[in-house]
Amino acid sequence: MYIIGISAYYHDSAVCLLKEGKIISALQEERLTRIKHDLSFPHQSLKYCITKENVTLDQVKHIIFYEKPFLKFERLLETYFSFAPRGYKSFRKSLPLWIKEKLFQKKLILDELEKIFGNKKILKEKLLFSEHHLSHAASAFFPSPFEEAAILTLDGVGEWASSSISTGYKNKIEMQKEIYFPHSLGLLYSSFTYYLGFKVNSGEYKVMGLAPYGSPKYSSLIKNHLIEIKEDGSFFLNMEYFDYCTDLKMTNEKFDNLFGGKPRSPETYLSQKHMDIAASIQNVTEEVVLNICKNISQNTNHKNLCIAGGVALNCVSNGKIIQNNLFENIWIQPAAGDAGGAIGAAYVAYYMSGNNIRHLSKDKDEMKGAYIGPKYEDEEIKNCLDECKAKYEKLTENELIEVVAKLIAEGKAIGWMQGQMEFGPRALGNRSILADPRSPQMQKQLNFKIKFRESFRPFAPSILEEELTNWFEIRNDSPYMLLVANVKEDKLMKENIKKENNYGIEKLKTIRSKIPAVTHVDNSARIQTVSKKTNRLFHKLITEFFKITGIPMLINTSFNVRGEPIVCSTKDAFNCFMGTDLDILVVGNYLLRKDIQNRNLRVDYKNKYKLD
């Protein structure tokens, strides 16, 4: 029997298919529509998942939506009444859309499902609704390897809750504490994302990446005026500085005056002040998260912690939880944002509504390394490459590994597409761009010539899990690239760091370690540990590179350019290859060299996304 979980209508719509409590597939709609953070009903993803398994409606026990639309509508309505008459124009403009998309969202969902399955009467009987933070909590706990755990969820807002602490035991989750809208750590961070000129709900990781270039000199200002932090980690925001309750912007003039100027316009110069502001909100966020975790650790008997919600993608604060040794074990949902709500909702239906017995995974968790998306067979790859008029060679697996490892060691940038696509925001070795971490020029080259993105953005190392402690100050596995740790001292170029007198973006010029392309300006790295059991081929490639160079890791960044979702299909990969300065494309066992491709097949990504 199958259960289908769905998230939609806010951002990162997705579908998850469970069979007897096991994840069969999960897919974000953006990967198929090619619309970044696509929020529409996930038609294509749902069709893919049920077609792949030949699922019919009579085999589906429940279809469950990840939140309760009427409660969200209630929150929107009550918020406007609470802040009236502020925001009346926004209220009047939004009301018709709310009535259509929020108040009658159940009907809308049924209408969309009917287009795929038919028979609305049966669909109505099968349709369930979870709650937003329960879906997050379920996505964190039920796939984890723990029989019991404390569960922390932090995001922008669901129906009413913005933060929650709950307890998971066997097949049940019980909510313990919640913080309600408009008080939200996620929305506080997003307000600074907006103020710093980045896009809300997608640019928060840029703020995190920018923070190490600055100093947290505005932390006290934030805590004195914007947020009151209690000892137990609970918090309250001063809403005099924010407009997200009643307007289409996050902050207001009072916020601007506090920081001495209007929000930065997108794509304009990043000053040292901007970097200091980023450092400050990152510092405050870490303080709140650590206070909450300390409170959980001190006042409960839980040795295990599970985390989800958009704030769980802040891998720097996750790393601080590890460093403080607050729990014996931590597990973070790799699709921690709204996409993961589809997984959580499906588990709510299976365990909490269905009361099924939970059997712990024999593996590290139930997420299968997050490799639960589409896979393309050899014949499909070849046919697509032929249709694209690509020039390629087919190699055996051993030949491919030897050739690609050698090419990376020679400084080539590789587009690497293998097996099932990752679910969630991180490329984990199946839809990745790979390169040599020893190269001092590679970070800049990848950002400008291939990713078409800001120069300050760091890159992650994917390291053989058995070599982790030889290179980084961390003992916890990080299979989903959700933990940051410092490079070990014996791998640092201490004399270079000691002599450094660069500031801001100029810090990029300092060669800090033996792996400069993945060492951030604070000597840290966002790590992915690669297991032979979870991703045999990627592990084999890194092992071959290790034999050649003595370095047991590769640069791993998502296979896409800024403004586009991670590639899904062979055609997506070929277009990205032909629209960037990637040297080599590998899809399955097929290898393509850029210098022999037809120049007329190039894709003008720079013009497409209006990038400099």
Q: What is the DSSP letter of 601?
A: G
How many structural domains are present in the chain? 3
Over residues 325-350, the mean pLDDT reads 97
Q: Which two tokens stand for residue 202?
A: 């997608």
Q: Are residues 444 and 390 in the same domain?
A: yes
Q: Are residues 313 and 382 in the same domain?
A: no
Q: Are residues 435 and 296 in the same domain?
A: no
Q: Which two tokens stand for residue 561?
A: 């350019």
CATH of the domain at 393: 3.90.870.20
Q: Are residues 388 and 428 in the same domain?
A: yes
Q: Are residues 451 and 541 in the same domain?
A: yes
In a domain, 156, yes or no: no
The residue among 237, 228, 222, 100 whose CA lies nearest residue 156 is 237
Q: Is the pLDDT of residue 494 over 80?
A: yes
Q: Are residues 296 and 345 in the same domain?
A: no
Report percent pLDDT > 90 for the chain: 80
**CB neighbour burial string for 267-297, b if at least 16 within 10 angstroms, e if fewer:** eeebeebbbbbbbbbbbbbbbbbbbbbbbbb
Query: Rounded CA gap, 114 and 531, in Å?
Result: 42
CATH of the domain at 281: 3.30.420.40
Q: Are residues 402 and 442 in the same domain?
A: yes
How is the chain split among helix, strand and coil, in percent rounded to 5? 45, 20, 40
Query: Rounded CA gap, 55 and 62, in Å?
Result: 13
Confidence of residue 599 (pLDDT cuts 50, 70, 90): confident
- Residue 515's SS3 state is coil
In a domain, 163, yes or no: no
Average pLDDT, the chain: 93
Q: How many CB atoms lie within 10 A of CB 410?
A: 10
Query: Rounded CA gap, 192 and 83, in Å?
Result: 22
- Would you say 584 and 445 are in contact if contact means Cβ atoms under 8 Å apart? no
| Per-residue pLDDT tens over the stretch 78-94 | 665 566 556 556 666 66
Q: Residue 306: beta bridge partners?
A: 151, 331
81 is in which domain, residue-wise?
2-144+335-370
- Residue 294's SS3 state is helix
In a domain, 161, yes or no: no
Q: Is the pLDDT of residue 612 over 60?
A: no
Q: Which helix (H) or strand (E) holds 445?
A: helix 442-445
Phi, psi of 330, deg, nearest 5: -130, 135
Q: Residue 8's Cα: distance from chain center in Å?
A: 16
| Per-residue pLDDT tens over the stretch 118-130 | 989 999 999 999 9
| Peptide bond preceding 182 in cis form (omega within 30 of 0) | yes
Q: Are residues 290 and 397 in the same domain?
A: no
Would you state the pLDDT for residue 606? 60
Query: Rounded CA gap, 219 and 201, in Å?
Result: 22
The residue among 363 and 600 whose pLDDT is bigger is: 600
Q: Are residues 299 and 314 in the same domain?
A: yes
Q: What is the DSSP letter of 492?
A: B
| Per-residue pLDDT tens over the stretch 477-488 | 999 999 999 999
Q: Is the pLDDT of residue 384 over 50?
A: yes
- Residue 305's SS3 state is strand
| Per-residue pLDDT tens over the stretch 174-202 | 999 999 999 999 999 999 999 999 999 88
Confidence of residue 610 (pLDDT cuts 50, 70, 90): very low
| Per-residue pLDDT tens over the stretch 528-578 | 999 999 999 999 999 999 999 999 999 999 999 988 999 999 999 999 999
- Would you say 5 and 345 are in contact if contact means Cβ atoms under 8 Å apart? yes
Q: Is the pLDDT of residue 29 over 90?
A: yes
Query: Rounded CA gap, 352 and 142, in Å?
Result: 11
Between the alpha carbon of residue 371 and those of residues 334, 368, 429, 534, the distances in Å are 11, 6, 9, 9
In a domain, 230, yes or no: yes
Residue with tokens 């018709």: 96
Q: How many CB atoms lie within 10 A of CB 488?
A: 16
Query: Rounded CA gap, 400 and 398, in Å?
Result: 5
The residue among 366, 304, 317, 341 whose CA lies nearest residue 133 is 341
| Per-residue pLDDT tens over the stretch 227-279 | 999 988 899 999 999 988 877 789 999 999 999 999 999 989 999 999 999 99
Query: Rounded CA gap, 276 and 280, in Å?
Result: 6
In a domain, 151, yes or no: no
